[in-house]
Amino acid sequence: MPKVRNAGTFTEQMFWNWIRSTLRRKSMFWKPIANVRNKAKVPYNGPNKRRKFSFICSSCNKAFSAKEVAVHHLIECGSLTCAADLPGFVERLFCEEEGLTLLCNKCHNKIHE
């Protein structure tokens, strides 16, 4: 594939992957995502003295650490392979709380298989 983007350093696919990755990183600062995490947060009562909170998976209802959970979009963000995909992708990525849920990594992976 020819490198036609970013002064000849990106292929078309690399460019759109970079745009998608950048948008996903910025979505971590989106308030509805933080709100979904906070609503699933409960005090931790286990043996690990450093851990203060657990998060309840909305699917299996078990408690997990922050590293073991992910905010899941109920409506998949979809692909981002060209400029025509951009408006829909952004609209779905930056959705409100009703379009999000918190899942443990195991439940999240099951959905995306």
Classify 14 as helix, strand or coil: helix
DSSP assignment letter at 84? G
Q: Is the pLDDT assigned to residue 36 strictly greater than 90?
A: yes
3-state SS of 16-59 is HHHHHHHHHHHHCCCHHHHHHHHHCEEECCCCCCCCCEEEECCC
Say what the pLDDT of residue 34 is: 94
CB within 8 A of 56, min separation 6: which ones? 40, 42, 62, 63, 64, 102
Give the three-class secondary structure for 105: helix
Give me the pLDDT at residue 86, please: 97
Q: How confident is the model at residue 8 (pLDDT cuts 50, 70, 90)?
A: very high
- Long-range Cβ contacts of 105-111 (<8 Å, 24+ apart): 105/64, 105/68, 105/69, 105/70, 106/60, 107/57, 107/59, 107/60, 108/70, 108/72, 111/72
Mean pLDDT of 78-99: 96
Residue 24 has what pLDDT?
Answer: 94
pLDDT of 1 over the 90 cut? no
For the stretch 15-25, pLDDT in tens is 999 999 999 99
- What is the per-residue pLDDT across 49-80, written as a single tens digit (0 to 9) for each? 899 999 999 999 999 999 999 999 999 999 99
C-beta separation of 53 from 44 below 8 A? yes
What single-letter DSSP state applies at residue 75? Answer: S
